[in-house]
Structure formats: structure tokens, C-alpha cells
A and B are shown apart, each in its own frame.
Chain A
């Protein structure tokens, strides 16, 4: 069975500082993908970054980077130079990459990030 754990229900960060959102996972699948999504108060799910389990390098997308530690089964999201618009709910998610088209994307409980001016 798959499980995603986000232990930080909420976090504050000062504008322009970096922040790390924690995510650990558990799976028996040999090949899987890890995702981070941002959900602002409007409700839309915004894709931020993806890391494949066999990728040798940590993924980066602009101010977002994923600190992937496979042996520890963690996939923390790092946001550099926080902006007020980063205030939102952040979800970590995982999906196995083998086994067919209906493999399900499973979400963690989310972390609410508040950026303070």
C-alpha cells in the first residue's frame, strides 16, 4: 500500500526567506513518481514539480526544488526567496509508474504555508 505523510499542518515563513516543506512516503512499487502541487484559496491544483524515483538528480523548477532522499523515502519541497503569493496549501503526492494507465495519484494531508511580509 502507498502512503504519503506530511507532518507539518501549517508553517510561517518570512518573505524572501527559504522554506522546506516535508514529505515522506511509503511504497512497495519499484518505480514511482513524486509530485508537489500548490492549492491557493481559489481551489485550483497547480502542478509545481516532479521527481521520478530513478532520476539521479534532484528536480528543480525556478524557485522550487525537490530534496529527494530515496533511502530515507523523503521528498521535501524547498521554496527559495518566498513571496506573498506563495501563501497556499501545498500537497505532496505519489503515483506508481508501472502497472497500467489507471495508477492512482495519492495525496498527503497538505501543509498550509503562510508568507509574512
Chain B
């Protein structure tokens, strides 16, 4: 299957700083990318959906000014957690899909964010 990478795999930062997480599709063009958040022992919750070249669509309750998503190319999307606080500590997973809606969705390995 296709490969999606995330960088970094883990990050620790101080409260108040901003953190950028990259998601790359390595061997296909990701027309749509998704960002999920997962708290320990919980399910994946969709944060936002982004299409290349357009603004992301955020799920209800997700602050778009806090979680900045940029999908500038068909192989790269970034999630920036601005002014991170301890409650933002979580496992962030990106997913990418090529083309039409019934295509398989491929997941990155996730990024574990810890805010101290």
C-alpha cells in the first residue's frame, strides 16, 4: 500500500510555544488529507479535512486559530499547534487519500505531542 510519513514522531515542548507537524504522502498524490487526534485509550477524533490548495474544513469544536492546517501541495500537509498548552498533549495522526472518495485512506504513524 501507499506510504504516509509524519515528522516528528514525538515532540516535547514548553507551554506557550508552537509546534508544527508534517504529513507527507511518499508515493501518491494526496488530494485530501485528514488530521485526527487521539487521547489515551480513546478513539480517533477527526479534527479537520483539507484539500490541496484550499482552506481546511474543521470539525465542530476544533479551534481553527489554534490548529492551523496548511495543505500547500499534493504531498504535504502541516498541522501547527499554536500556543500549545498541556491539554493539547495528545497523539496526532494524519491520513491521506488520492482521488475519489472510495479510495483507500492511508494513515501516517502518528506524532505524540507532550506539552509541559
Seen from chain A, the residues whose Cβ lies within 8 Å of a Cβ on chain B are 33, 37, 42-45, 47, 50, 52, 91, 95-110
**Per-residue contact bits, chain B 96-116, to A (CB 8 Å; 1 contact, 0 not):** 010111101111011010000
Write the nearest CB–CB distance from B58 to chain A, whole angstroms: 12
A102 touches B42 (CB 8 A): no
Seen from chain B, the residues whose Cβ lies within 8 Å of a Cβ on chain A are 1, 31-32, 34, 42-44, 46, 49, 51, 57, 91, 93, 95, 97, 99-102, 104-107, 109-110, 112
> A102's closest neighbor in chain B, by CB?
B49
B31: which A residues are within 8 A, CB to CB? 101
Write the nearest CB–CB distance from A53 to chain B, whole angstroms: 11
A96 to B101, CA, bound (A): 8
B51: which A residues are within 8 A, CB to CB? 101-102
B105 touches A105 (CB 8 A): yes
A106: which B residues are within 8 A, CB to CB? 46
Write the nearest CB–CB distance from A111 to chain B, whole angstroms: 11
Interface pairs (29), CB distance under 8 Å: A33-B102, A42-B109, A43-B91, A43-B93, A43-B109, A43-B110, A43-B112, A44-B109, A47-B1, A47-B104, A47-B106, A52-B102, A91-B44, A95-B101, A95-B105, A96-B101, A99-B101, A101-B97, A101-B99, A101-B100, A101-B101, A102-B51, A102-B57, A105-B46, A105-B95, A105-B105, A106-B46, A107-B43, A110-B42
B102: which A residues are within 8 A, CB to CB? 33, 52, 97
Max chain A Cβ within 10 angstroms of own Cβ: one of B97, B100, B105: B105
Q: In the complex where A43-B109, A45-B107, A47-B1 touch, is A105 in contact with B34 (Cβ < 8 A)? A: yes
Write the nearest CB–CB distance from B101 to chain A, whole angstroms: 4
Write the nearest CB–CB distance from A108 to chain B, whole angstroms: 7
The 4 A-B pairs with the shortest beta carbon distances in the complex, nearest first, are: A45-B107, A43-B110, A103-B101, A97-B102
